[in-house]
């Protein structure tokens, strides 16, 4: 998979995590228990990863791996999305703000996969030269 596809699918995954998490604050749903909160969080993470994979395949963009999308979604939730999601006020700009943080986090957490793809490509090209 191309490096830009890794970044773009990571950004899309992060954006969908941010959007899904911000919907709770926007609609002021609340949770009845800690188990309900965990179910909502893990459901949002998995839904975003599987959604990006399915949409990318349907539009013919690329074939992203769930080994890339699930960790990026999970890490994006914990690092840039959780803090603003907890302190949100539930306005329209709040949804855009948290979604934007998700885009930035998805791009950031996709960088190790891009670096790994670059290293793997250089290793294979060195082996071919010998």
Q: What is the pLDDT of residues 3-15, one digit of tens each?
A: 888 899 999 999 9
SS3 label, residue 62: coil
| pLDDT value at 113 more than 80 | yes
Distance CA(49)–CA(62), nearest Å, equals 14
Q: How many residues does the chain have?
A: 130
**Residue 63 region, left (φ>0) first, then alpha (ψ -120 to 50), else beta?**
beta
Q: What is the pLDDT of residues 13-67, one digit of tens each?
A: 999 999 998 887 766 677 778 888 888 899 999 999 999 999 999 998 888 889 9
Distance CA(53)–CA(64), nearest Å, equals 6
Distance CA(28)–CA(44), nearest Å, equals 16
- pTM, full prediction: 0.83
> In this predicted structure, what is the pLDDT of residue 127?
52
> In this predicted structure, what is the pLDDT of residue 125?
52
**Counting beta carbons within 10 angstroms of the beta carbon of residue 94, is it exposed (0 to 12), middle (13 to 18) or buried (19 or more)?**
middle
> In this predicted structure, what is the pLDDT of residue 130?
46
Q: What is the pLDDT of residues 75-101, one digit of tens each?
A: 999 988 888 877 767 677 888 888 999
């Amino acid at each position: 998979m191309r490096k830009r596809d890794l970044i773009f699918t990571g950004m899309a995954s992060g954006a969908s995590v941010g959007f899904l998490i911000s919907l709770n604050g926007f609609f002021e749903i609340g949770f009845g228990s800690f188990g309900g909160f965990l179910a909502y969080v893990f459901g949002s993470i998995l839904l975003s990863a599987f959604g990006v994979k399915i949409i990318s395949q349907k539009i013919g963009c690329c074939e992203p791996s769930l080994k890339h999308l699930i960790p990026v979604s999970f890490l994006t939730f914990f690092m840039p999305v959780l803090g603003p999601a907890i302190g949100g006020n539930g306005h329209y700009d709040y949804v855009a703000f948290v979604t934007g943080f998700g885009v930035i986090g998805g791009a950031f957490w996709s960088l190790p996969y891009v670096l790994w793809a670059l290293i793997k490509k250089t290793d294979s090209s060195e082996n071919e030269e010998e």
